Amino acid sequence: MNSQPNDLLLLAGQVLAVLMQIFMAIAAAALLLAPVVILVMLGDINAEIATEFEGAVGPLPLVPVLGLCALALAVVGLVFLFFGRLRAIIATVSEGDPFAPQNADRLNWMAWSLLAVQLAWLPLSGLGLWLAKWAEPMEHGNVTVDAGFDLSGIIMVVVLFILARVFRHGAAMREDLEGTV
């Protein structure tokens, strides 16, 4: 039923989704390890900051750093799960059953998770700006934070909600058709 270009497209989608999950797993490991290292090394970090910058910069602001790690870990987890749902959808499409009822649920979940990611950028940006302000007096402390509004992400959320409805409607139509035959 599938033609060769579609098979290659589905394969590319699966590979991309798997790679993104691998990247997210690595990021999650780093975000889990970073607070531990920071807490263990906090005395040394603050001593180095005091020596290097001679009072121009205060100690490492621990609460914003740990908050940034925690929020980033939540975002990374959502993105990991997002690509897991995408892989499951791709699998049903490659099996020839794209309008499986669970795909509507997956798309709906993907939309909600992407909305959560979009909303998480607000506090992430705030914490990033706080840390950038703290690092400003450092000689090499040029920290930039992208705190803008991401219209493409919001559009993607709306598209996913609409696709979830389309898939739900398609699954219902298929069930009705099978019931009449």
pLDDT digits (tens, 9 = 90+) for 128-172: 888 888 888 876 656 667 766 789 999 999 999 999 999 999 888
- What is the average per-residue pLDDT within 10-38? 97
> Which among 113, 86, 117, 76 is positioned nearest to 18, based on CA atoms?
86
Structural domain for 66, as ranges: 4-180
Number of domains making up the chain: 1
* Per-position DSSP letters for 89-132, written without gaps between them: HHHHHHTT-TT-HHHHHHHHHHHHHHHHHHHHHHHHHHHHHHHH
Categorize the per-residue pLDDT at 107 as very low, low, confident or very high, splitting at 50, 70 and 90. Answer: very high
Query: So what's the pLDDT on residue 100?
Result: 86
Query: So what's the pLDDT on residue 141?
Result: 58
The rounded radius of gyration (Å) of the Cα atoms in the chain is 22
Are the C-beta atoms of residues 28 and 77 closer than 8 Å to each other?
Answer: yes
pTM for the structure as a whole: 0.85
Render pLDDT for 82-99 as a digit per residue (tens, 0 to 9). 999 999 999 999 888 888
In percent, the amount of the chain with pLDDT more than 70 equals 90
Residue with tokens 């001593």: 47
Query: So what's the pLDDT on residue 1?
Result: 45
Size of the chain in residues? 181
- What is the average per-residue pLDDT within 119-130? 90
- CA angle, 78 as apex, 98 and 166 as ends, to 5°? 30
- Tell how many helices (H) and how many strands (E) occur in the chain: 4, 0
Taking the C-alpha atoms of residue 138 and residue 64, their distance in angstroms, rounded to an integer, is 18
Are the C-beta atoms of residues 52 and 11 closer than 8 Å to each other?
Answer: no
